[in-house]
């Protein structure tokens, strides 16, 4: 990989620090710095270290992110990356080869994002279809349960009537036996 590609990659924490610091993967590579992870994160001389103006969380970004907007990895608020004293935005201009490399990388990432979106849309459509099928099944089950409840009430009513008839028959037999 060339230096410009390395500069654009996010600084990542090692596996033992996972969960202690969230890494926001953006074109500028914003990283959350905490006391637990500062030892694990390599801060290069070209990095800009600054605090989120909303929550005060310590952030680190490659110098090519100067003047760009990113989201704080802690609070999610939009943050404007400060431009260090003495630096001009013109200092960040890339040579045509680096720009072409970034353009190709951006196009590749855009296509990957489009493919992922299409895959997610297919998944959503499959889930909608499955939900529709399950809803039909649920309604059919509810209808069948209502039918069974009605039948159960009918059987119970017939049982009560049969018990009443049996009671009258028993009473008539008892009367006949007394005569």
At 43-71, the pLDDT tens digits run: 887 788 899 999 999 998 887 788 888 89
DSSP class of residue 132 equals H
CB 10 within 8 A of CB 29: yes
Alpha-carbon span 112 to 108, nearest angstrom? 6
Q: How confident is the model at residue 91 (pLDDT cuts 50, 70, 90)?
A: low
Maximum CA extent, the chain: 124
**Please, what's the b/e burial string for 121-141 (b: 16 or more CB within 10 A of its CB; e: otherwise)?**
eeeeeeeeeeeeeeeeeeeee
CB 53 within 8 A of CB 74: no
Read off the pLDDT of each residue in 129-149 and give the average, rounded to a whole number. 97
- Tokens of residue 57, six digits: 């969380």
Query: How many Cα atoms within 13 Å fall on the side-chain side of residue 32?
Result: 20
pLDDT at 24: 30
| 96 has a pLDDT exceeding 90 | no
Prediction pTM value: 0.40
Alpha-carbon span 50 to 32, nearest angstrom? 10
Q: How confident is the model at residue 137 (pLDDT cuts 50, 70, 90)?
A: very high
């Amino acid at each position: 990989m060339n230096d410009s590609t390395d500069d654009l990659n996010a600084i990542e924490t090692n596996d033992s620090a996972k969960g202690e610091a969230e890494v926001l993967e953006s074109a500028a590579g914003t990283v959350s710095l905490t006391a637990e992870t500062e030892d694990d994160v390599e801060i290069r001389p070209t990095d800009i270290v600054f605090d989120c103006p909303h929550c005060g969380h310590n952030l680190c970004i490659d110098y090519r992110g100067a003047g760009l907007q990113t989201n704080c990895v802690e609070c999610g608020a939009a943050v404007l990356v400060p431009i260090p004293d003495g630096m001009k935005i013109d200092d960040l201009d890339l040579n045509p080869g680096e720009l072409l490399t970034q353009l190709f990388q951006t196009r590749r990432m855009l296509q990957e994002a489009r493919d992922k979106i299409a895959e997610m849309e297919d998944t959503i459509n499959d889930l909608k279809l499955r939900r529709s099928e399950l809803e039909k099944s649920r309604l059919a089950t509810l209808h069948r349960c209502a039918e069974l409840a009605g039948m159960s009430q009918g059987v119970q009513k017939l049982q009560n009537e049969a018990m009443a008839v049996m009671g009258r028959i028993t009473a008539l037999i008892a009367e006949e036996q007394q005569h």
